[in-house]
């Protein structure tokens, strides 16, 4: 691809893939760079002279709070940074103060993320923040609260990046049973595929402090 580079920085493979998909849709000619930790993100930022945009998760390995955002902004102050984070939406103001152009909750759908990418690349103004993001998180929390214990364990397995076979082995049940639980939890969460399941779980910051999940 001959277009400018877009850096997708998120430590969770499923969410990183979702962000990459949004970036490809919003900027079909862009060259995508990926990072699962702050050190790799900083390397790309220093090496890619044609970097046009950074999509950033605040909670990556090597970063604490807004430290990763601050470092990336210091390295490339002229490159827009769109933060997509599981942090409380109230962190949006602080994120902008540290150099972010915009802030989206991980409960945002791909359409919202694509729109933010288009605005950032086109240097278009951001819309005024609305409390809808917080309400979306509350709705998702209520949906997850309706899951059975086994469905929640399956959800956590998806968030960890496990295949159905691996989840089944860990829970001591059949792969067919896992598929049944997956169908039920997707129905309860109002989503349609594994990526959306991971987005739904990550939106609630089940373990925002690290890449490790709670024991199940």
H helix runs in 35-89, sequence order: 38-47, 67-75
The first and second tokens of residue 23, run together, are 């970036």
pLDDT per residue, tens digit, the chain (216 aa), is 567 899 999 998 888 998 999 999 999 989 999 999 999 999 999 998 899 999 999 888 988 888 889 889 988 988 999 998 876 667 788 888 888 998 988 878 888 899 999 999 988 877 665 555 556 666 776 787 788 888 888 888 887 778 899 999 999 999 999 999 999 988 888 888 887 787 776 655 443 333 333 332
Q: Distance between CA atoms of 145 and 131, rounded to whole angstroms?
A: 22
Would the pTM of this model clear 0.75, i.e. be above it?
no
**191 and 197 in contact (C-beta within 8 Å)?**
yes
Q: What is the C-alpha separation between 47 and 11, in angstroms, rounded?
A: 20
Domains of the chain: 5-129 (3.40.50.2300), 133-203 (1.10.10.10)
**19 contacts 84 by C-beta, under 8 angstroms:** yes
Burial class (CB in 10 A: 0-12, 13-18, 19+), 81: buried
């Amino acid at each position: 691809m001959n277009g400018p580079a877009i850096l997708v920085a998120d430590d969770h493979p499923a969410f990183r893939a979702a962000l990459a998909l949004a970036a490809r849709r919003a900027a079909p000619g862009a060259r995508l760079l990926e990072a699962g930790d702050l050190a790799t993100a900083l390397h790309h930022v220093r090496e890619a002279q044609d970097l046009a945009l950074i999509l950033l998760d605040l909670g990556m390995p090597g970063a604490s709070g807004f430290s990763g955002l601050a470092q990336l902004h210091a390295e490339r102050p002229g490159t827009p940074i769109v933060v997509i984070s599981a942090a409380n939406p109230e962190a949006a103001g602080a994120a902008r103060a540290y150099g972010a152009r915009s802030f989206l909750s991980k409960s945002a759908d791909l359409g919202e993320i694509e729109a933010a990418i288009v605005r950032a690349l086109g240097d278009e103004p951001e819309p005024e923040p609305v409390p809808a993001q917080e309400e979306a998180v509350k709705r998702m929390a209520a949906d997850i609260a309706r899951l059975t214990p086994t469905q929640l364990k399956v959800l956590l397995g998806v968030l960890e990046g496990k295949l159905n076979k691996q989840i089944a082995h860990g829970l001591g049940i059949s792969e067919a049973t896992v598929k049944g639980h997956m169908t039920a939890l997707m129905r309860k969460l109002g989503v349609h595929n594994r990526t959306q399941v991971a987005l739904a779980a990550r939106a609630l910051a089940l373990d925002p402090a690290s890449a490790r999940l709670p024991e199940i």
